[in-house]
């Protein structure tokens, strides 16, 4: 079978599409014929080995695991001895190691059934980005019906889910994006859209109960200015630099600084969760969340897909589509 393989850190040029052995599922795993995968910033961090901290798990000089890709959707082809939740032919989506391949093995605790009204490409868009949005808003922000919620970076992979998930909780949602994405962000349910090329939301008079931040392009005090007195600033993403010093310092500082103010800051790192995948499956089946897909690439075009995502202006998710 064909798979994307890399043996050294670097630009997308280090990625090769190679013929490798088809995997066999372990006892608790399912073998999936991949129909679609999606690309996350996570993938290019592992590809580049940056920030350097990532190399503690990924390998110091070169990648220990030579495969890339996490989000996957496809058809179950075989199941391991102890895997009882799925059978061959089932259509599933979830997470695995090395999703940029024709076949992958995934733990059965990491995948759920795909709703019939959702395509493989849409399903592959969901796991990491929607999990981040859901856990950030629900667990980090304790989102409540009727709250005013601002999504900074509303047009990207995480942001397009965050807008729709916040609406599903009954929040009043403001999305922040550039001019070309204003209509798209409105079309997925935002009540208000701020074009950041025209207006800086941290300098306006509007205050929010929650600010969900994918971008990290303002100072902490500027974000705080945008919050209501009991508001929460949910830090999800932003520039990491080579050493990740900024985000680590923020994650350490957040609970300390929160003690001295009624306005809180939380840093959220998404965790794999079958329960959350199930929530997303139900929201999609009910038509309350529809993944936004920007571009589609073939398996051999993963380097181009990652290069595009790295530019930082994807509109929704970037998908790898297989036959």
Instruction: State the minimum distance, in angstroms, from the CB of residue 159 to ligand NAP.
Output: 5
Contacts with 56 (C-beta within 8 Å, 6 or more apart), sequence order: none
Chain residue at closest Cβ approach to ligand NAP: 237
The sign of the CA dihedral 178, 184, 188, 193 is positive
Q: Which is nearer to ligand NAP, 102 or 213 (CB)?
A: 213
How far is the C-alpha of 296 from the C-alpha of 306, rounded, in Å? Answer: 11
Instruction: State the minimum distance, in angstroms, from the CB of residue 42 to ligand NAP.
Output: 6
Instruction: State the minimum distance, in angstroms, from the CB of residue 218 to ligand NAP.
Output: 9
Q: Which is nearer to ligand NAP, 23 or 237 (CB)?
A: 237
Q: Give the SS3 label for residue 252.
A: helix
Instruction: State the minimum distance, in angstroms, from the CB of residue 140 to ligand NAP.
Output: 9
Q: Which is nearer to ligand NAP, 90 or 310 (CB)?
A: 310
Site residues for ligand NAP per CB under 6 A: 40-41, 128-129, 132, 152-153, 155-159, 176-178, 181, 196, 214-215, 217, 236-238, 268-270, 309, 312-315
CA 288, chain centre distance (Å): 18
Closest CA to 238 of 152, 116, 129: 152
Beta-bridge partner residues of 321: 36
- Written as six digits, the tokens of 58 are 């990924």
Q: Which is nearer to ligand NAP, 33 or 142 (CB)?
A: 142
Q: Which is nearer to ligand NAP, 281 or 315 (CB)?
A: 315
Instruction: State the minimum distance, in angstroms, from the CB of residue 179 to ligand NAP.
Output: 8
Q: Which is nearer to ligand NAP, 71 or 209 (CB)?
A: 71
Q: Beta strand 91-95 with 111-113: parallel, antiparallel or unpaired?
A: antiparallel
Query: From the CB of residue 290, how many other CB atoms can be counted at a distance below 10 Å?
Result: 18
Instruction: State the minimum distance, in angstroms, from the CB of residue 121 to ligand NAP.
Output: 16
The answer to whether the bond into 186 is cis (omega within 30° of 0) is no
């Amino acid at each position: 079978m064909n798979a994307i393989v890399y043996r050294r850190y670097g630009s997308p040029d280090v990625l090769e599409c190679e013929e490798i052995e088809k995997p066999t599922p372990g006892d608790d795993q399912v073998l999936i014929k991949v129909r679609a995968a999606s690309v996350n910033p996570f993938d290019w961090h592992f590809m580049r080995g940056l920030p350097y901290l990532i190399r503690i798990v990924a390998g110091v000089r070169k990648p220990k695991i030579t495969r890339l890709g996490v989000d996957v959707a496809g058809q179950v082809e075989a199941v391991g001895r102890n895997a009882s939740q799925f059978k061959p032919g089932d259509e599933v989506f979830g997470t695995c190691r090395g999703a940029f391949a024709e076949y992958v093995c995934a733990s059965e605790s990491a995948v759920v059934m795909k709703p019939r009204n959702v395509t493989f490409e849409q399903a592959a868009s969901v796991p990491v980005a929607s999990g981040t949005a859901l856990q950030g808003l629900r667990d980090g922000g304790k989102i409540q019906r009727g709250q005013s919620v601002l999504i900074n970076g509303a047009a990207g992979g995480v942001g397009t889910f965050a807008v729709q998930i916040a609406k599903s909780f009954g929040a009043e949602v403001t999305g922040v994006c550039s001019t070309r994405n204003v209509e798209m962000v409105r079309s997925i349910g935002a009540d208000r859209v701020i074009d950041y090329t025209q207006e800086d939301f941290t300098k306006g008079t509007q205050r929010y109960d929650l600010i969900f931040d994918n971008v990290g392009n303002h100072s902490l005090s500027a974000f705080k200015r945008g919050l209501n007195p009991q508001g929460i600033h949910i830090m999800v993403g932003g520039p990491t630099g080579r050493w990740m010093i900024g985000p680590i310092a923020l994650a350490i500082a957040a609970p300390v600084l929160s003690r001295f103010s009624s306005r809180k800051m939380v840093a959220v790192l998404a965790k794999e969760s079958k329960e959350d995948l199930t929530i997303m499956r139900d929201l999609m089946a009910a038509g309350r969340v529809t993944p936004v897909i920007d571009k589609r690439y073939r398996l051999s075009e993963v380097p181009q897909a990652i290069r595009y995502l790295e530019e930082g202006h994807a509109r929704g998710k970037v998908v790898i589509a297989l036959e």
